[in-house]
């Protein structure tokens, strides 16, 4: 597969650029399984992190990622180049995530362990970092699903508001409003968390 990739594009698919991702989609549209595997490897971790903030259920996350990539495989020929490949893939994942959340009738809990950080850190610093991560995680859980998605795409996936609007299929001003309310809510929740720790 790597030889085919290098022959077509001159470099390995470890982290393709936007144009390389567009080329991958074109190959996938033609039924190229190697191109699909390359795109899957690029997006699996990114989608899993995004969906963890959305659905907070490890087993469900993997299922949604697989469903998302199945849609990418089946619909690659419909990609119309009006947005980035990442926006298109994240939009599919968002819709698949919403569908999965709406189908579940029990609350979802996270089973993804928090990273404590570098083990060489001082114990007090590592504890403070872990407490901060837990506080942010709990605060994010308190947001509405739409607000949580906007925050996650902004801060964890470096998407701009216009790209988020395209991903979520809503107006740009709606994204801005959701972010405004999310920041207000997070400010209150995180200051309360800090007071509890003091």
Question: 1-110 domain in CATH 3.40.50.2300?
Answer: no
How large is the C-alpha radius of gyration of the chain?
Answer: 19
pLDDT digits (tens, 9 = 90+) for 97-149: 888 887 764 444 433 333 434 445 566 666 666 777 777 778 888 888 899 99
- What ranges do the domains of the chain cover? 1-110, 121-198
Please tell me whether residue 157 adopts helix, strand or coil conformation.
coil
Give pLDDT, residue 32.
95
pLDDT digits (tens, 9 = 90+) for 24-81: 999 999 999 999 999 999 999 999 999 988 887 778 899 999 999 999 999 999 999 9
> Which backbone phi and psi does 30 adopt, to 5 degrees?
-90, 5
Q: Give the orientation angle of helix 172-197 with respect to helix 145-155, to 10 degrees.
A: 90
Q: For the whole model, what pTM was predicted?
A: 0.64
CATH assignment of 121-198, among 1.10.10.10, 1.20.58.100, 1.10.3720.10, 2.102.10.10: 1.10.10.10
Instruction: Tokens 């419909």: give the residue.
Output: 78
State how far the Cα of 26 lies from the Cα of 30, in Å rounded to an integer. Answer: 7
Q: Taking 90 as the threshold, does the pLDDT of residue 187 lie above it?
A: no
């Amino acid at each position: 597969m790597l030889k085919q990739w290098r022959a077509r594009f001159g470099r390995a698919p470890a982290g393709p650029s936007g144009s390389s991702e567009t080329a991958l989609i074109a190959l996938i549209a033609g039924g190229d399984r190697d191109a699909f595997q390359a795109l899957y490897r690029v997006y699996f971790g990114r989608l899993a992190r995004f969906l963890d903030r959305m659905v907070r259920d490890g087993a469900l996350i993997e299922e949604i990622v697989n469903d998302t990539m199945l849609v990418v495989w089946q619909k690659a020929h419909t990609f119309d180049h009006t947005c980035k490949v990442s926006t298109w893939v994240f939009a599919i994942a968002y819709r698949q995530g919403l569908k999965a959340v709406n189908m579940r009738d029990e609350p979802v809990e996270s089973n993804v362990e928090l990273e404590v950080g570098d083990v060489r850190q001082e114990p007090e610093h590592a504890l403070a970092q872990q407490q901060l991560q837990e506080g942010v995680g709990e605060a994010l859980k308190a947001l509405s699903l739409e607000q949580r998605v906007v925050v996650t795409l902004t801060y964890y996936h470096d998407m701009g508001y216009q790209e988020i609007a395209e991903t979520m299929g809503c107006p740009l001003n709606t994204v801005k409003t959701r972010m405004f309310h999310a920041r207000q809510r997070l400010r209150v929740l995180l200051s309360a968390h800090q007071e509890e720790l003091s």
